[in-house]
Amino acid sequence: MTGALLALGACHILTAWGLRPAALAGRVALAGGGVAALVVALLPAPSSGGSLRHGSVVVVGFTLLAVWPVLAADRSAAAPWGLRPAPSIIVTALIGLGAAWFVFEMQRHGSTGVAERVLTSIQSLWPFVVVVSCIRRLEKDERVT
């Protein structure tokens, strides 16, 4: 798990650095989420009980990764699909719903692992979707010229 978090954090940071079509605030939030992933890897959850340090970093990282799509949105007509306001708002809302599901499962001692994996999968895959949409937009622009 530590290796996966380190790799994911590095990927988020590199993606934020290279995602020039995205608004700066979104890129900063994505990079901050990547840094938080690196810190979470260095502060693992204890095998039993909780950890205020681990939990605090998780909340900060989760929040940054939840809001980055909206912060990165581009309202121009030429914006790549993944950076348009509607998909950005929808993804942020889905992440919010996933967070609510996770909290609900924690309170009832239910399937927190499933909720956590679904939620982190969305947060981990959305940057990839955005990058692909930016590449496709670039290719389309190059064909037109």
pLDDT digits (tens, 9 = 90+) for 111-141: 888 998 999 999 999 999 999 999 999 888 7
Q: Supply the pLDDT for residue 134.
A: 95
Q: Which two tokens stand for residue 32?
A: 């901050």
Domain that holds residue 119: 2-144
What is the average pLDDT across 18-37? 97
Looking at the structure of the chain, the number of domains it has is: 1
The confidence score (pLDDT) of residue 3 equals 92
Report the alpha-carbon angle 109-47-8, nearest 5.
90
Mean pLDDT of the chain: 92
The helices-and-strands tally (H runs, E runs) of the chain is 5, 0
Two tokens at 37?
Answer: 């992933």
Q: What is the pLDDT of residue 35?
A: 97
Nearest 10 degrees: Cα torsion 2, 116, 47, 44:
30
pLDDT at 144 over 80: no
> Percent of the chain having pLDDT more than 70?
98
d(CA 52, CA 60) in angstroms, rounded, equals 12
Region 24-30: mean pLDDT is 98
Report the candidate in 117, 118, 122 with the shortest Cα–Cα distance to residue 92.
122
Mean pLDDT (whole number) for 16-43:
96
- pLDDT of 145 reads 64
Compute the average pLDDT of residues 26-35. Answer: 98
pTM given for the model: 0.90
